[in-house]
A and B are shown apart, each in its own frame.
Chain A
Amino acid sequence: MITLNHYIILGAILFAIGIFGVITRRNAIGILMSLELIFNAVNINMVAFSRFLTPTAAYGELFTIFIITVAAAESVLGLAIILAIYRKRQVLNADEMNLMKW
């Protein structure tokens, strides 16, 4: 029998992998992809909570839809910014984008 704990632990592991990716990746596109991993970990938690705690209201599923939409918008804008920086400065690694770093 699969319990709520299974899903939350899976979400925690996925979240940890995503955090590892965000911190260690040099490539800005890689950082964005790791962010998607974090969003997915949260989505698993949301849907699992909704299924096990409020199955008649589906609040978790609704929040998941909003999270997916906002994540798509975030990803589009992030990739657009990366593309603009690449065109201007031929730089793709996050540790070389230090123009605004004091």
Chain B
Amino acid sequence: MIELILFYAFAGVTIFSAMLMVLSRNIFHSALFLAVTLLGVAALFAMLGSFFIAGVQVLLYIGAVVVLTIFVINLTKQVIGQDVAQVNEYVLPAILTSVFSACLIILAVMKTDWGTRIAQSVAQSELTDNTALIGRQLLTNFVIPFEIVSVLLLAALIGAIAIVSRDKEVQK
């Protein structure tokens, strides 16, 4: 029972702040609402028993991505504090597209019979911490994707520096 209340509370916070994020006229407020949304998602990850993912979510998304976004918002002064129109003319098609896709997913989920697999697996494991399992998988079965992702991060790092700093050299 208390689990259900917690789920609806976290889901409500997540969806409400996501709506505020999308509809907010000030881009800075939008970034702050994004942080609240990500925190709600992290709480949902913790409810699902993957505490490691919840921690990664807080560290990487809220600690890195949102902070970086706020940095860029502050560097591009054009929009700070202004309540210029943030929404283009495609509002109605956007509403149609998003409602249609959500209805499609929800209908597909409702029609699917997950059946016995869920009952089995939930009975097998009562909300245990699977951090050790993730670590073991990451260094045995998933070692090649793990290394590729680290190369990708290095490439992104070099690319970001190259893109942003080229402008300065031209000006000199």
Contacts and interface: CB of A to CB of B under 8 A. Distances in A.
Interface residues of A, number: 75
A68 B50 CA distance: 14
A96 to B, nearest CB: 11
A84 B117 contact: no
B22 A24 contact: yes
16 contacts: A7-B48, A8-B109, A12-B101, A19-B101, A25-B86, A29-B73, A33-B21, A33-B30, A40-B41, A43-B53, A43-B57, A44-B44, A62-B134, A76-B156, A77-B159, A92-B76
B166 interface: yes
Interface in A34-59: 34, 36-37, 40, 43-44, 47-48, 50-59
Contacts of A59: 137
Given A14-B15, A61-B130, A29 B72 contact: yes
Determine the main DSSP class of A at the interface with B: helix
Interface of A: 1-21, 23-27, 29-30, 32-34, 36-37, 40, 43-44, 47-48, 50-59, 61-62, 64-66, 68-77, 79-84, 86-88, 90, 92, 95
Contacts, number: 237
Contacts of A20: 22, 94-95, 97-98
Contacts of A75: 65, 68-69
Interface residues of B, number: 83
10 closest A-B pairs by CB: A73-B156, A16-B102, A23-B94, A16-B98, A12-B105, A21-B22, A80-B160, A20-B98, A55-B125, A80-B163
A61 B50 contact: yes
Contacts of B166: 84
A42 to B, nearest CB: 11
B98 A17 contact: yes
B102 A12 contact: yes
Contacts of B124: 55-56
